[in-house]
A and B are shown apart, each in its own frame.
Chain A
Amino acid sequence: MSDLQPAAAPAPGVPAGAPAGGAPAGDVIHDIGFRHYDGPRYGRGWIVRSLLVDTVRGVFGLGRPARSKVMPWALVAILAVPPIIIGLIVLLVGGDDPPITYTQFLYQFNVPISLFVAGAAPYAVSRDLRHGVLPLYLSRPLVRTDYVAARYGGLVLAVFAILAVPQTLLLIAALLAKLDVGAQLVGWAGGLAMSALLALLLSAVGLAIAAFTPRRGLGVAAIITVLIVVQGFSFALSGLAYGQDAEGLAVLAGALDPYRLIDGLAVWLLGADPVIPDFAPTDAGQGAVFVLVYVVALAAFGGLLLQRYRKAGRL
């Protein structure tokens, strides 16, 4: 919305000297009366896509004041610089594998990723909820779930983008270092698949929390807190269980943390190298639990979000 051209060109064919009504004198624009619109009116699909694009742009601060751009782009830089450095190291030192795999990257950089989600999710939903803007959307040709879908889809795309870019940089570095092309491409594709799963889950969690904390600052804090607390809790549980020789439980506790859940899925589904080998799922039962937890968590947070809008969506 930043590229506005506010000075609308006078419509051709409209007589300029037809003042109709009480526009104050001295206005540079001639009052040509109310003009009707007979151009195209796009339908629901177009509107949802528009709102989705708008959400992505807004998350990155495009069309918003400069200070809204600082945080997202700083985090993008934080995520993009390490792959470049890693790439340089591989290029200079050589070796068969980069020091970090594509899926491990998601776990290792969980802090900037969480910060990004915490900043973006409240932007996407809190403002409209807090200021009662929703009736303005709902009185237009779309339905409540369209609005939620567009906001969610926009956030998922944005989160996926900040994950996919550094992974792609990692791939480019690996290819420049003449590592095995096939293996790198497979690893990269797996990384993107896991990025998509992580983006879907983190966006659902972030939006659900943000939708219940209409103040933006509060939403940011709540999301960070929840992600950090859950991670700490999951680790403490794993450590405790490991100390008691309950290794199975130590593995399953990892499913509580979205990042370790994704890492476990990568290990189980793609055979990727785990971040913490001791806590990686090893048998089919554990793998099934990870898949189940993912599906249930996604459904639960998505449902929570929709539930919130069922109430808030009333005019």
Chain B
Amino acid sequence: MSPSASEPVPTGSGPAIVARGLTKRFGKVTALSDLTVEMPTGVVGLVGANGAGKSTLIKILLGLLPPTSGEARILGLDAATDGLAIRQVVGYMPESDCLPPDVSATELVVHLARMSGLPGTAARERAADTLRHVGLYEERYRPIGGYSTGMKQRVKLAQALVHDPRLVLLDEPTNGLDPAGRDEMLELIRRIGTEFGISVLVTSHLLGELERIADHVVVIESGVLQRSTSTAEATALSGSVLVEVTDRAADVVARLRASGAQVEVPDDGATTFAVDLADEAVLDAVAAAAADLGVGLVRMQRRRHHLTELFREAAR
């Protein structure tokens, strides 16, 4: 992990989640196959298609499902034997609908705080606090049955946070949300990791949305680990410069190519192209070419990798 990334470490150090040779079979179906991975504290994204084994991994981590073989540790606790201790310091937001419609969000979250072992007064205070933090205000006194999907997702998130866990497991929290609701939920999750100082494992089948908020991304497919990488590393500066000129892009490119530079031009004839950064001289060449041809240089920008393209390359 790059030390520059601002990672909130709630307590202790070391990885938040460790799996070693973790395998889970349901009859003939293998949900997880020899999964060995370490996930750091902070926000970790778990990406995979539906049925990739994300939910199975979460159930094993909660100590609710014994693995067929292998070992899983969460916050240093053994998932196979310390289930109760784990569930005291971990919060879980299920993917499925799980809210009774006839109680209010406040009543439900207070009740569930007590079910996490918090005494009555603390349960009430923390429920009010937490619901406010997830963005539920006056509506929290109304029965949940009348809530929108976005509000329901917030209630589900609040019940996972109400007992102040050290880590939350969020299963597909953006499921069913419209684009605006999705952005708000992602921002909320990012804040849980940074401002609240609670480690997060968040699953999604969309890599793109996790890339924005996760410090670390783990990709699994059919129960097999595909990749585990720090987002900072993966999106590090690439070896090329994005150049945009006001006009005559083709001429500039021709001149650069003549000087021996590798230039990548998009097909659509735009005024933007990428120059391979072999050495610093290339930057001078770009400036010189623009000056000679009398075109304006709009920008020269070191390009960053996107996680998606990284995985696309890996898939090829």
User: Which chain A residues have a beta carbon within 8 Å of chain B's beta carbons?
Assistant: 1, 4-9, 20-24, 27, 29, 33-37, 39-44, 46-47, 50-51, 54, 63, 127-128, 131-143, 315
Contact = CB atoms under 8 A, between A and B. Distances in A.
B183 to A, nearest CB: 12
Contacts of B132: 23, 27, 29
B296 to A, nearest CB: 38
A44 B100 contact: no
Contacts of A315: 55, 59, 62, 64, 94, 96
Interface of B: 55, 59, 62, 64, 83-85, 87-88, 90-92, 94, 96-103, 106-107, 110-112, 114-119, 122, 124-126, 128-129, 132-133, 135, 137, 140-141, 159-160, 163-164, 187, 191, 195-197
A16 to B, nearest CB: 14
A20 B137 CA distance: 17
Contacts of A50: 114-115
A116 B181 CA distance: 44
A133 B99 contact: yes
B114 A37 contact: no
A47 B195 contact: no
A253 to B, nearest CB: 42
A43 B87 contact: no
Nearest to A31: B132
B119 A42 contact: yes
12 contacts: A5-B124, A33-B195, A34-B195, A34-B196, A37-B164, A42-B119, A54-B111, A136-B112, A139-B87, A139-B91, A143-B83, A315-B55
A147 to B, nearest CB: 9
Nearest to A313: B64
Contacts of B96: 132, 135, 315
A204 to B, nearest CB: 23
Nearest to A38: B164
B106 A43 contact: no
B124 A140 contact: no
Given A40-B117, A47-B115, A139-B160, 9 more contacts: A1-B107, A4-B107, A8-B128, A47-B116, A131-B97, A139-B92, A142-B84, A315-B64, A315-B96
